[in-house]
Amino acid sequence: MAENSINKDIVKEENLVFKKTGLFTDKPLSYCPGCGHGTAHRLVLETIEEMGIQSETIGIAPVGCSVLAYEFMDIDMQQAAHGRAPALATAIKRLYPEKFVFTYQGDGDLAAIGTAETIHACNRGENITIIFINNGIYGMTGGQMAPTTLPGMKSSTSPYGRDIQSMGNPLKITELVAQLPGTYFVSRQAVHTPAAVRKAKKAIKTAFENQKLKKGLSFVEIVSNCNSGWKMEPVQANQWMVDNMFPFYPLGDIKVPAEQ
Amino acid sequence: MAKIKGSIVVNIERCKGCGVCVPSCPTTVIALADEVNGKGYHYAYMANPETCIGCANCALVCPDAVITVYKMKVNE
């Protein structure tokens, strides 16, 4: 049925508009259906491909759902201990200052166990790029409450919803690092609609270009869904994200360098 | 008048049937198939191929990058 609907006149090499970037390896992504990680991976890889820096880029994979990022990205990668990706990226960037170094971290990695490394790397203004995927939950381990879990949001360790009195407030780490003098560019994006994907791509590209100009640390948060952790269908989870996550984590550039 | 006609090719075995592409399509081309692929997912396919304009919105939001998009100008 699907094969029959392909129009042989249109499907030709010269009419190609969009295809999967060649920087993906042949491994199928291990993420749940509809997970924003796949789109975020693709945007990072497309940026690297467009800038022609495949052989000069070193990525740092985190611990979390995206722990296997090095299996999917056809670039040099390291895998850091839980939360230590910014520290490892600092070391690599200092040893190879001409390389492009980025970390790819989830909210459990960056905003919980790795808070100290994140804040100090941002404060030192290391010339690296941090891609932060925020889905408000520990997706890999079974949907436990994360520092970024919204007030009242249900997770497997807050089954009646996050209670601020006993469980504390969610951490807006992106706003936090934007206050630090070392960060040059801080932005929050999403990947749930085509328009959001285009904006996120632009932000990621800016973040990598800043590294080329040796401007300091660029930090891009991507608010994502976790349909398995949230116990929703992918499309429904995206809608829930728009209704609940975006009022708390508003999209847009948080810190942009002043015009020259 | 020249018209833009598009077409998508879905890598059926890699599609996870999340359905994120379905609401992203401005001309309601895509639907999830009744059949399943080797992994048991209802894969995406072109239900209304004649209305596709090759905008690549579906490919942009596809988390697994299984959609390839083509488009061409045709003179009516």
Structural domains of chain B, with CATH: 2-75 (3.30.70.20)
Look at the block and give the residue holding tokens 């399509």: B25
Measured between CA atoms, how close is A54 to chain B, in angstroms? 19
> A118 in a domain, yes or no?
yes
Q: Is the Cβ pair A18, B5 closer than 8 Å?
A: no
- Cβ under 8 Å to A: B residues 15-34: 16-20, 22-24, 33
What mean pLDDT comes out for the span A104-131?
95
d(CA A234, CA A14): 33
Mean pLDDT across chain A: 93
Identify any residues that bridge with A187 across adjacent strands, giving them in sequence order. A220, A253
**CA-based nearest residue in chain B for residue A224:** B63
Segments forming the whole domain that contains residue A92: 34-255
What is the total count of domains within chain A?
1
> A89 in a domain, yes or no?
yes
Contacts of A49 in chain B (CB under 8 A): none
In this predicted structure, what is the pLDDT of residue A176? 95
Helix A85-95, helix A115-124: angle, nearest 10: 30
Instruction: Mutation target for B interface from A3, A9, A18, A37: give the one with most B CBs within 10 A.
Output: A18
> What ranges make up the beta strands (E) of chain A?
16-18, 57-61, 76-79, 100-106, 129-134, 137-138, 144-145, 183-190, 217-223, 252-255
Q: If pLDDT is split at 50, 70 and 90, which confidence band does B3 have?
A: confident
d(CA A65, CA A141): 8
Q: If pLDDT is split at 50, 70 and 90, which confidence band does A4 have?
A: low
In this complex, the residue of B23, B49, B64 whose CB is nearest that of residue A5 is: B49
d(CA B50, CA A192): 26
Q: Which of A117, A113, A134 is nearest to A126 (CA)?
A: A117
What is the domain-level CATH number for residue A64? 3.40.50.970
In this predicted structure, what is the pLDDT of residue A8? 77
What mean pLDDT comes out for the span A227-233?
94
Contacts of A6 in chain B (CB under 8 A): 7, 9, 46, 49
d(CA A107, CA B74): 48
> A56 in a domain, yes or no?
yes
In this complex, the residue of A6, A34, A39 whose CB is nearest that of residue B9 is: A6
d(CA B8, CA B58): 9
d(CA B73, CA A15): 9
In this predicted structure, what is the pLDDT of residue A3? 53
- Residue type at B62? C
**CA-based nearest residue in chain B for residue A28:** B14
**Could you tell me if A226 and A137 are in contact, meaning their C-beta atoms sit under 8 angstroms apart?**
yes
> A9 in a domain, yes or no?
no
pLDDT of B75 over the 90 cut:
no
End-to-end CA distance of chain B: 6
d(CA A176, CA A182): 12
> A44 in a domain, yes or no?
yes
d(CA A25, CA A75): 9
Instruction: Mutation target for B interface from A20, A21, A32: give the one with most B CBs within 10 A.
Output: A20
Would an 8 Å CB–CB cutoff place B40 in contact with chain A? no
**Alpha-helix runs per DSSP H in A125-186:** 164-167, 173-178
Look at the block and give the residue holding tokens 């072109």: B46
d(CA A200, CA A221): 9
pLDDT of A7 over the 80 cut:
no
In this predicted structure, what is the pLDDT of residue A13? 87
d(CA A122, CA A175): 12
Q: Is the Cβ pair B71, A10 closer than 8 Å?
A: yes
Measured between CA atoms, how close is A233 to chain B, in angstroms? 8
Q: If pLDDT is split at 50, 70 and 90, which confidence band does A5 have?
A: low
In this predicted structure, what is the pLDDT of residue A223? 96
Q: What is the pLDDT of residues A27-71, one digit of tens each?
A: 999 999 999 999 999 999 999 999 999 999 999 999 999 999 999
Instruction: Return the DSSP state at A162.
Output: -
Would an 8 Å CB–CB cutoff place B43 in contact with chain A? yes
d(CA B10, CA A145): 36
pLDDT of A85 over the 60 cut:
yes
Lowest mean pLDDT segment, chosen from A6-20, A43-57, A164-178, B3-17: A6-20
> A10 in a domain, yes or no?
no
Sheet holding A16-18, edge to edge: A16-18, B67-75, B2-10
> Cβ-count burial of A213 within 10 angstroms (0-12 exposed, 13-18 middle, 19+ buried)?
exposed
Q: What is the pLDDT of residues B7-60, one digit of tens each?
A: 999 999 999 999 999 999 999 999 999 999 999 999 999 999 999 999 999 999
Q: Is the Cβ pair A16, B33 closer than 8 Å?
A: no
> A148 in a domain, yes or no?
yes
Would an 8 Å CB–CB cutoff place B41 in contact with chain A? yes
> A181 in a domain, yes or no?
yes
